[in-house]
Amino acid sequence: MKNIAIIGSGSWGVALAIHLAKNGHKIKIWSYEKEEADLINNQRKCKFLPNVEIPDNIECKLDYEEVIKGADLILQVTPSKFTRNIVRQYAKYVDVKKQPIIVCSKGIEKETTLTLDEVILQEIPNARIGALSGPSHAEEVSIAVPTLLVIASEDEKVKNLVQDVFMNEYMRLYTSNDVKGVELGGALKNIIAFCSGVAAGIGFGDNTFAALITRGLVEIRKLGIALGGKEETFYGLSGLGDLIVTCLSEHSRNRKAGKLIGQGKTIEETKKEVGMTIESIDNIEVAKELSDKLNLEMPILNSVYDILYNNLDPKEAVKSLMTRKRKQED
């Protein structure tokens, strides 16, 4: 049995908590909302996963020190835009030698274009870092649907620890040394999932989704390699695997957001209706900035950027993509 601190009480943080609690570990979740903490502690419920019962070996606290003190492992599960500020607040409580920090969110810091492991290392130098990613919906992990994930770290002991605490008959973890590639795959696939939603909102079908997944992976791979990821990582669980599940599933908030845009909703209307953080909207801006800086050809990214920020009609964007200059498949 291990003591595990989970920073973030959203659907993914709570789903991971439920899974780990069922594995026999003692879980403390940090939340910034007293209402959420009370719901978890008193009613054993999570507003994002209303049909799931919270096990008794999960506590939710508002104080960082209470959550982190005595933990064998820290899971960082807050939206990317809040990561730096939150890590900065709890940094003084972390024993870097004894408490590895695992990035479980999928995003890139908008202001710096850093991956989240890089953000954490700026705030907690010498932290033992890992990144957990792969095709996984909170709605399914919380009810023990068989799931495969990848844990990336340069520290073998960190990878072994994470495998030990997570793995059972319905969750299997593979390992990787490519922290950068795993993080980038998780962040960039949200963009293509958003595009898949736009296609669904327009009324397109499976042919279009398959096209977006295939050509979207080309763009993810291109940018990911340019930023330091390994090519093979983007064909694995945190790349292609996660891309498939988020592009095709109604559970995906990024796909849902894109679908609303495809139906003619504004960004603000979309954010309000989805009701949770939509990482893809920030990631589109960051990826556009990076691809321009690196002079990379990324037509799908450029089109969705223009839909969001230059009032390009989604149908016109599709027409433009379909009538581009002929080329050989890469």
Supply the residues annotated as catalytic.
189
224: number of Cβ within 10 Å: 25
- The contacts of residue 206 (CB under 8 Å, 6+ apart) are none
Which letter does DSSP use for residue 124 in this model?
S
Q: How far is residue 308 CA from its own chain's centroid?
A: 21
Bridge partners of 217, per DSSP, are none
CA–CA dist 247, 17 (Å, integer): 25
The number of residues making up the chain comes to 330
CB 48 within 8 A of CB 22: no
Residue with tokens 């109604």: 250
* Phi then psi dihedrals of residue 278, to 5 deg: -110, 90
CA distance 3 to 68: 9
CB contact at 8 A, 194 and 220: no
Distance CA(43)–CA(35), nearest Å, equals 11
- Taking the CB of residue 145, how many other CB atoms lie within 10 A of it? 12
According to DSSP, the β-strands at 171-176 and 147-152 are parallel
**DSSP secondary structure of 139-154:** HHHTTT--EEEEEE-S
Show the tokens assigned to 7. Answer: 């920073």
- Per the structure block, which two tokens stand in for 218? 């080309």
Which is nearest to 285 in space by CA: 315, 270, 306, 316? 306
* Residue owning tokens 């979740």: 29
